[in-house]
Structure 1
Amino acid sequence: MLPRPHKRTRTRRPAIKRALLVLAAVTTAFTTVMATDASAASSVHYVALGDSYSSGVGSGSYISSSGNCLRSTLAYSQLWANAHSPASYTSVACSGATTTDVLNSQISALSSSTNLVSITIGGNDVGFSSVMQTCVLDSDSTCLSAINASVAQAKSVLPGKLGTTFSAIRSAAPSARVVVMGYPEFYDLGNSWICPGLSTTDRTALNNAADTLDGIIQTAAKNAGDSYADVRSKFSGHELCDFFNEWLHSVNITDVTESYHPTADGQSGGYLPAMDSITG
């Protein structure tokens, strides 16, 4: 009897081919997604406007060419640009800026290609920084009087000024997403009883004034169709009187400029996440 021929084992070429095709498709899709993400990032033209909270006063590392505007490499806008690599990034934010300064000196940085704008503005229009210094240097009654005057001014004139400013930004950069940033509360009132310095009455009034200011800014942003980023929850647990965890400078007589401004940690831990919550 002749021996049976050996049965040939079939190779699994169709299965291997299918696997290779699937792998190629997945690789192509991944590459496309990565390219799309990179393209999206590179298409962002970002301009930061506003006052000292946007320029980065209090965070140090100031850019010498910015002069008295005190723009910092640790400001939230620069940190955002570092993380997201936009096609272009410009900051014209300046210490002490008011809505008038934004209109006269900063709007010109915008163009039809600008598609992302951030801004903090309003505090200097109602003299809020000088109010806080008054509260530190003078009596409770003087402090409360200054706060009440500032709040009254904020309610009466600030909505109109903000409305004009936000409208001008929209006209100069019609395609831009505009992110209006708020201001933090300054004191953790829960620790006020063991915190030296101002009385709890003064601290409560200052916090309430900050809340009023934020409310006015938020309403103006909404009316303009802009996004509002509330930073107060980000600073919770890191306010003045939160010993060793503070993200704000208290009044410093030797360097008044930095008083009540965010530290570098306040910019990176408070303002940057608030910006990211809007932009993704």
Structure 2
Amino acid sequence: MASRQRGLATALTTLLALLVALVVPLATATAPAGSAPPSRTTYDVLGDSYGSGYGVPPYGACGRSQSAYGVLVDGRARLDLDDFVACAGTTTTSLVAGGQLDALDADSDLVLLSIGGNDIGWSSAVVACLGGSDAGCAGALAVVRGRVVTQLPALLDSLYDRIEAAAPGARVIVTGYPRLFSPEHGAYLGASPAEQEALNEGADLLHSVIAAAARRHGFDVVDVRSHFVGHGVNAPDPWILGPADPGAFHPTLAGYEAYAGAVTAAIKPGRHR
């Protein structure tokens, strides 16, 4: 019996040694000692007030806030913010004239961009629907929708061409705009639920045109609209600032955090350059 037990112990010892011999090389191959950590990605933030973080003071130049989504993602997903040049009031043409493209070069890894809303006069439709007649609201919406369809695509294509030329190796992520209203909570400052829905449909149209232009250039699009559902300006927990605020109809801090979360989720390892 003792001899049999010694034999079994010897066999178990031999089997354990074999398993260790197999496992150790595998562990060494997957995580070699002294291996370099994954490289970090630098990024630049361009665009308008939604990119500058306007609405959440204090501000630097151009209404730039440390609560901007481009600032909030710094350090996430191995990202390092390089140039933060987004500026409140920017259009597709003033972005170029104002020198924002100077932030880009052949070594740019990633570009975050918010643009298009100022080109179509979106705020004029919002003001008309809140403070004007039903006819005035409908007329302003028709004008803005016409600009979205007939003017914005060419403006975006022209800007996107310039971005591609300035940063030929960069990945570009375009962020859209949220719906501003939650019609389910009733009329708001003269805007009926139907008018609020019409304004939200205008935001949907704006997003579709921005997304289509981005796809034509191989850019990625972050759609934030679903993140703001139930958080419109007239909701109990609004993520959009009301008209009495100096940053009217821009995101609150919670809104910019939602942007940052959506952008972070869209960034996947190995996708850059």
Instruction: Please give the range of the TM-score, normalised by the shorter of the 2 chains.
Output: 0.7 to 0.9
Choose from 208, 211, 220 the match for 1:227: 220
Deviations 1:187-222 (A, max 9, x none): 1222225x5542223212211211111111111111
Q: 1:277 aligns with which of 257, 265, 269?
A: 265
Unpaired runs of 5+ residues, structure 2, are 1-5, 269-273
The change in CA–CA distance for 1:32 and 1:181 in structure 2 (over 3 A counts) is farther
Structure 1 residue 168: Cα displacement: 0.8
> How far apart, in 1, do the equivalents of 2:132 and 2:227 lie?
30
- Show CA shifts across 1:212-250 (max 9, x none): 11111111111111111111111112222321x211112
Q: Percent identity?
A: 32
Q: Which amino acid aligns with 2:44?
A: V
- Contact preservation (8 Å) 1:182, 1:231: yes
Q: For the residues of structure 1 that align with 2:31 and 2:89, how far apart are their CA atoms?
A: 46
Instruction: Give me the whole-angstrom Cα distance separating, in 2, the residues matched to 1:18 and 1:250.
Output: 70
- State how far apart, in whole Å, the 2-side matches of 1:18 and 1:248 are: 63
What are the within-5 Å matches in structure 2 for residues 102-181 of structure 1? Answer: 102-104=95-97, 105-181=99-175
The unaligned stretches of length 5 or more in structure 1 are 1-6
Taking the aligned partners of 2:33 and 2:56, their CA distance within structure 1 comes to 36
Seen in structure 2, the aligned counterparts of structure 1 residues 87 and 130 have a Cα distance that, compared at 3 Å, is same
Bigger shift: residues 118-127 or 131-140: 131-140
**Is the Cα contact below 8 Å between 1:70 and 1:95 reproduced in 2?**
yes
Deviates more, 1:125-134 or 1:91-100: 125-134
- Aligned ranges 1:38-53 → 2 under 5 Å: 38-40=37-39, 42=40, 44-53=41-50
Checking the alignment, whether the CA contact within 8 Å between 1:61 and 1:74 is kept in structure 2 is no
Change (3 A) 1:35 1:101: farther
AA of the residue aligned to 1:272 = A
CA distance change for structure 1 residues 19 and 61 in 2, over 3 Å: closer, same or farther? farther
Kindly indicate whether residue 219 of structure 2 is the aligned counterpart of residue 237 of structure 1.
Answer: no
CA contact (8 A) 1:136 1:251 kept: no
Shift of 1:88: 4.8
Distance 1:246 1:176 in 2: 35
How many angstroms apart in 2 are the aligned matches of 1:259 and 1:33?
A: 54
User: Which residue of structure 1 aligns with residue 200 of structure 2?
Assistant: 207
Q: CA deviation at 1:162?
A: 0.1
1:98 partner amino acid: T
Q: Does 1:248 align with 2:240?
A: yes
Aligned ranges for residues 25-64 of structure 1 at < 5 Å?
A: 25=25, 27-29=27-29, 31=31, 38-40=37-39, 42=40, 44-62=41-59
Q: Distance in 1 between matches of 2:242 and 2:126?
A: 10
More helix by percentage: 1
The offset of 1:123, in angstroms, is 0.5
Distance 1:92 1:190, change over 3 A: same
**1:126 corresponds to which letter in structure 2?**
I
Corresponding pairs, count? 263
1:27 to partner: Cα distance:
4.7
| TM-score normalised by length of structure 1 | 0.83
- Distance of 1:59 and 1:23 partners within structure 2: 54
1:139–1:273 distance in 2 versus 1, CA, 3 Å: same
CA distance in 2, matches of 1:139, 1:205: 14
Q: Find the residue that maps to 1:154 and give its secondary structure.
A: helix
Instruction: Using structure 2 for the length normalisation, give the TM-score.
Output: 0.85
What is the letter of the counterpart of residue 264 of structure 1? L
Query: Contact 2:46–2:86 (CA<8 Å) still a contact in 1?
Result: yes
Structure 1 runs of 4+ with >4 Å offset: 7-24, 32-36
Give the direction of change, closer, same or farther, for the CA distance of 1:14–1:70 in structure 2 (3 Å limit).
farther
